[in-house]
C-alpha cells in the first residue's frame, strides 16, 4: 500500500540480528502490525503494537515505534534459517480498526 | 485449528472467462477480505465485507465483484478475466479484539494465470 513503505530485501547471516524497517504516513493509525509469509503460504500475524507504546518485546522479536517520525521496526534476535520469509508491516486506523493497509513486504534471506 | 480455506491453489483461465474464487472461514468472523499480491506492490485490497450481504470497495475494485450470501463464505468474481489480473489472490477473515486491534487470518492463496 502506498501509505506504508518498506525496503524490499534484507540479507542476514545466521545468528546475527535482523532489523526490518517500515514507515507509515497516517498519524491516526491506532495499531501497527508485523506479518510473516513463508514460501507457498498465506500471511500469519507475528506481533502488533498499540500506537501509544514505544516498544514491545516477545521472545526473539522486538518492535520499536517512533510515532513522531512514523517509523516502525522489527528486530529478530539470533536469526535462524526458518526466519527466511517475507515480512509485511501493516496499519489499522481508528474507526476502521478491522481494515489493514499493508506495505510491499521485505524479503529476508538468511545465509549460513 | 482456525482455518481460512481457498478453493484452488492454482488456476489457469482464458481471457474473457468469468472466474470465481471461493473462500470459506470457520471462525465465525464478521469481516472478510480479498487481496491481490504482486511482487514489489505487496497486498492491495480489492473488496471487503463486514457482514452478510454487505460489501465495500477496497483500493483496486475495478474488474472485480464479490458475493457474501453466508457469513462463512466470501467469493471473488472476475467478470471478464484479463491478463493483467494474473496474480496471487489472498482471502482473509478477521474480528476485532475486545481491547482494540485485529488479527487477520489468511488462506494459502490462489495463483491465477490468465492466458
Size of interface A-B (CB pairs under 8 A): 68
Q: Rounded to 5 degrees, what angle do the CA atoms B20, B26, B30 make? A: 80
Q: Which residue of A has its CA nearest to B109?
A: A42
Q: What is the DSSP string of A43-66?
A: EEEEEEEETT-SEEEETTEEEEEE
Q: Phi, psi at residue B80, to the nearest 5°?
A: -150, 95
Predicted confidence band of residue A97 (pLDDT cuts 50, 70, 90): low
Instruction: Give pLDDT tens digits for A1-13.
Output: 457 899 899 999 9
Nearest to A45 among B4, B103, B109 (CB): B103
Do the Cβ atoms of A98 and B103 come within 8 Å?
no
Do the Cβ atoms of A92 and B95 come within 8 Å?
no
Q: Which residue of A has its CA nearest to B104?
A: A45
- Tell me which of B5 and A29 has the higher pLDDT: B5
Q: How many whole angstroms separate alpha carbon A69 and alpha carbon A88?
A: 19
Instruction: Give pLDDT tens digits for A40-62.
Output: 888 999 999 988 889 999 999 99
Q: Could you say which residues from 7 to 26 on chain B have a Cβ atom under 8 Å away from some Cβ of chain A?
A: none
Return all residues near B105 (Cβ < 8 A) that are at least 6 apart: A42, B2, B3, B4, B25, B27, B29, B92, B93, B94
The residue among B74, B102, B109 with the most chain A CBs within 10 A of its CB, best to mutate, is B102
The cell numbers describing B68, all together, are 457474501
DSSP A82: G
Residues of A with CB under 8 A from a CB of B: 1, 4, 6, 8, 30-31, 35, 40-45, 48, 50, 88, 92, 97-105
Q: How many whole angstroms separate alpha carbon A103 and alpha carbon B56?
A: 21
Instruction: Give pLDDT tens digits for B21-79.
Output: 999 999 999 999 999 999 888 899 999 999 999 999 999 999 999 999 999 999 999 99
**Number of residues written out for chain A:** 112
Q: What pLDDT does residue A1 have?
A: 42
**B5 interfacial to chain A (CB closer than 8 Å):** no
**B111 interfacial to chain A (CB closer than 8 Å):** no
Q: Rounded to 5 degrees, what angle do the CA atoms A61, A65, A69 make? A: 145
Amino acid at each position: 500500500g502506498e501509505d506504508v513503505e518498506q525496503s524490499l530485501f534484507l540479507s542476514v547471516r545466521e545468528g546475527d540480528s535482523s532489523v526490518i524497517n517500515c514507515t507509515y504516513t497516517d498519524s491516526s493509525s491506532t495499531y501497527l502490525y508485523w506479518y510473516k509469509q513463508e514460501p507457498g503460504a498465506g500471511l500469519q500475524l507475528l506481533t502488533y503494537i498499540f500506537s501509544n507504546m514505544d516498544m514491545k518485546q516477545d521472545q526473539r522479536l522486538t518492535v520499536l515505534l517512533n510515532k513522531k517520525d512514523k517509523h516502525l521496526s522489527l528486530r529478530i534476535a539470533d536469526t535462524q534459517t526458518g526466519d527466511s520469509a517475507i515480512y509485511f508491516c501493516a496499519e489499522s486506523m481508528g474507526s476502521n480498526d478491522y481494515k489493514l493497509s499493508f506495505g510491499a513486504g521485505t524479503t529476508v534471506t538468511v545465509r549460513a | 485449528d482456525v482455518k481460512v480455506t481457498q478453493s484452488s491453489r492454482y488456476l489457469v483461465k482464458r481471457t474473457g472467462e468469468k472466474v470465481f474464487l471461493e473462500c470459506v472461514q470457520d471462525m465465525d468472523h464478521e469481516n472478510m477480505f480479498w487481496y491481490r499480491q504482486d511482487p514489489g506492490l505487496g497486498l492491495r485490497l480489492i473488496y471487503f465485507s463486514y457482514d452478510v450481504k454487505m460489501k465495500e470497495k477496497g483500493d483496486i475494485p475495478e474488474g472485480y465483484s464479490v458475493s457474501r450470501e453466508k457469513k462463512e463464505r466470501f467469493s471473488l468474481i472476475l467478470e471478464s478475466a484479463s491478463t493483467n489480473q494474473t496474480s496471487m489472490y489472498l482471502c482473509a477473515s478477521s474480528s476485532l479484539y475486545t481491547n482494540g486491534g485485529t488479527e487477520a487470518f489468511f488462506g494459502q492463496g490462489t495463483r491465477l494465470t490468465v492466458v
